[in-house]
Amino acid sequence: MAPPGNGAAVSNYVLERDEGAPLAVQRAGGVPNSTFSHCYAGPLQTVMVGGLRSGVHYRFRLRAENDVSRCFLAAGEGSGVQS
């Protein structure tokens, strides 16, 4: 069940990611400002993101939507390495 938001249940999630940067560039503080692209939109709370490359650092952001509003819930970072 989706968590409530502003009195209305979350009806849709939107996940976006940037194009990524090599880990060496990220570690040096040189992550470029990049645009975010669409990964997923829908009601699922768990999704698999394909097309990630090993050794590349990505940034993600998640937006929740309901009948009342849209807001970003979280932003996160990770590398394209499976654990």
Q: pLDDT for 12-67, tens place per residue?
A: 999 999 888 766 565 555 555 667 889 999 999 999 999 888 888 888 888 888 88
Nearest to 58, CA basis, from 25, 19, 4, 1: 19
What pLDDT, on the 0 to 100 scale, is given for residue 74?
A: 59
Confidence of residue 81 (pLDDT cuts 50, 70, 90): very low
User: Which positions ≥6 away from 37 have C-beta within 8 Å?
Assistant: 16, 17, 18, 19
What pLDDT, on the 0 to 100 scale, is given for residue 10?
A: 86
User: Could you write out the three-class secondary structure of 26-81?
Assistant: HHCCCCCCCCCEEEEEECCCCCCCCCCCCCEEEEEEEEEECCCCEEEEEEEEEECC
Beta bridge partners of 57: 21, 79
